[in-house]
Amino acid sequence: MSNINCRMKKKSFQGWAIPCLLPVACFVLLSSCAEAPTTTEEAAPLPSELKLTAAQEKNFGISLGTTRTQLVYDAIALNGTVEAPPQQTASVSFPIAGMVRSIGVQTGQTIGKGSTLATVESLELIQLQEDYWKTRGQLTFAEQERQRQTTLAQEDIGAKRKLQQAEADVRVLEATQQGLEAKLQLLGLNPQSLKTSQIVRVVALRAPIAGVVKRIQANIGMTVKAGDVLFEIVNQTGARLVLKVFEKDLPQIKIGQKVMFEGGSATIVNLSNNFDATTRTVDAYATLNGARVLAGQYISGKVETAPRQATVLPETAVVRTGETAHVFVKTSAGVFQPVEIKTGATQDGFVEVIFAQKPTLPIVLTGAQTLQAELIKGEGEEE
């Protein structure tokens, strides 16, 4: 009987255990499935070197070499304009109203002093000549009257008052004639060469200085008023650069330094004592060293400071990526590896380079940009 009870209890336990253990097994199984993704292998690191075939090296234009040492400078950028001295700049106008009949020059043309810029016809010019001849006639009569009154005064026949009046009339007419002669000379006419039977209607407008025609503000048939500027002439002799020096760069700018710019150079000869609080700059004045520039032209130049001997590489060897830079070296196994560097001054196609530890392996001098593109391409394929 006891054996029967034992069997019944065992059977009852087994029947209870199976339903109870089943959820536990399912829970364990689900837990293992949920954790499965965390057990996958980590992604392989991106490539940091390249292995090229001999054909690829040739196609990439790879050339190898080492660093070199040369004199380099720090460059301070200076921007400004070309300024011609006031005595070498002329604004040419016609002193009276008239009409432009012809123009004899073109913008940019080099001309000499006295060259004909244009011809102008003027009614006022005709009137001036009429007044001039009328005054001369009146003066001739006034001088004759004075002589007559002088003779009468000597014979004590006429009143001295008439002589005084005659002398005053002569002086007034002489002054009027002198004024008219000055006006005619200002217009380019010589009063002594004028003829009573010939009135000049057109006169030439001439260049007061030699130089280059910078601007023409006239055309044939245009009516001009007295004082209208028709031409601007600039003589480059004595031209200088007016450069803006920022406050932070001022301690490094000295008189005598050379300013290099495209097409020439200049030498700093003076620094202004006036500080512009708006732009935070000071003007530096530099004389040109034979460079061909035009007044008003914008100039972007640089001053070379802090000369030193430095390790350099060609610009083609340096790969810049954002704020960092690197070069490639080639190992004995033929593998190209990037080596990070710091860069300094750049001049004459070379870059100052600073290594944490100077490599002993040959450095890629040309083809570095192609290597970089291939490296990036390889990284993309790995992803």
Domain boundary among 169, 198, 230: 230
Question: Does a structural domain hold residue 226?
Answer: yes
Q: Are residues 109 and 206 in the same domain?
A: yes
The domain tally of the chain equals 3
Mean pLDDT computed over every residue of the chain:
83
The answer, yes or no, to whether residue 11 has pLDDT greater than 50, is no
Tokens 């190209």 appear where?
A: 336
Q: Does 56 map to a domain? A: yes
Return the exposure string of 100-129: e unless at least 16 CB atoms fall within 10 Å of the residue's CB, then b: bbebebeeeeebeeebebbbbebeebeebb
Residue 48 φ/ψ, nearest 5 degrees = -125, 15
Q: What percent of the chain has pLDDT over 70?
A: 85
CATH number at residue 375: 2.40.420.20
Q: Which residue has the higher pLDDT, 118 or 153?
A: 118
Residues 111 and 189 in one domain: yes
What pLDDT is attached to residue 157? Answer: 63
Are the C-beta atoms of residues 214 and 234 closer than 8 Å to each other? yes
Same domain? For 208 and 107 the reply is: yes
Interval 138-149 mean pLDDT:
88
Average confidence (pLDDT) over 46-56: 77
pLDDT of the residue at 9: 43
Say if residue 265 is in the same domain as residue 339.
Answer: no
Q: Phi, psi at residue 87, to the nearest 5°?
A: -75, -10
My answer on whether 295 and 319 are in the same domain is no
1 within some domain: no
Give how far the C-alpha of residue 9 lies from the chain's centroid of Cα atoms, to the nearest Å: 105
Do 130 and 224 have their domain in common?
A: yes
Q: Cα separation of 310 and 343, whole Å?
A: 11
- pLDDT for residue 352: 93
**DSSP secondary structure string for all residues of 119-178:** EEE-HHHHHHHHHHHHHHHHHHHHHHHHHHHHHHHHTT-S-HHHHHHHHHHHHHHHHHHH
Section 285-298 average pLDDT: 85
Q: CA distances (Å), 88 to each of 61, 141, 145, 208, in order?
A: 55, 47, 51, 10
* Nearest residue to 120 via CA among 189, 204, 213, 198: 204
What is d(CA 195, CA 328) in angstroms, rounded to the nearest whole number? Answer: 89
List all residues 6 or more positions away from 143 whose beta carbon is below 8 Å from its beta carbon: 170
Containing structural domain, residue 251: 76-85+236-306
Instruction: For residue 383, give Cα distances in angstroms to 52, 102, 336, 338, 375.
Output: 20, 75, 21, 20, 13
Residue 249 in any domain: the answer is yes
Identify the domain boundary among 212, 230, 248.
230
Task: Give yes or no: residues 99 and 226 share one domain.
Answer: yes
Question: Residue 35 domain-assigned?
Answer: no
| pLDDT at position 3 | 44
Q: Are 19 and 303 in contact (CB under 8 A)?
A: no
CATH number at residue 284: 2.40.30.170
Of 341 and 194, the structure prediction assigns the larger pLDDT to: 341
Looking at residue 328, its pLDDT comes to 94
Answer with the one of 258, 276, 306 that is the final residue of a domain: 306
Is there a single domain that holds both residue 110 and residue 215? yes
The answer as to whether 14 is a domain residue is no
Q: Which pLDDT score is estimated for 379? A: 57
**What's the pLDDT at 330?**
92
Q: What is the pLDDT of residues 73-91, one digit of tens each?
A: 888 999 999 998 888 899 9
Does residue 278 have a pLDDT over 80? yes
Domain assignment present for 276: yes
Same structural domain, 148 and 195: yes
In terms of domains, do 215 and 335 share one?
no
Decide: residue 249, CB within 10 A, 0-12 exposed, 13-18 middle, 19+ buried: middle
* Same domain? 177 vs 278: no
Q: How confident is the model at residue 101 (pLDDT cuts 50, 70, 90)?
A: very high
Residue 36 is assigned to a structural domain of this protein: no
Q: Residue 321: which residues within 8 A CB-CB, separation 6 or more?
A: 372
Radius of gyration of the chain (CA): 47
Residue 173's Cβ-count burial label (10 Å; 0-12, 13-18, 19+) is buried
The confidence score (pLDDT) of residue 26 equals: 40
Residues 101, 211 within the same domain: yes
* The residue count for the chain: 383
Position 222 scores a pLDDT of 94
Answer whether residue 7 shows pLDDT above 50. no
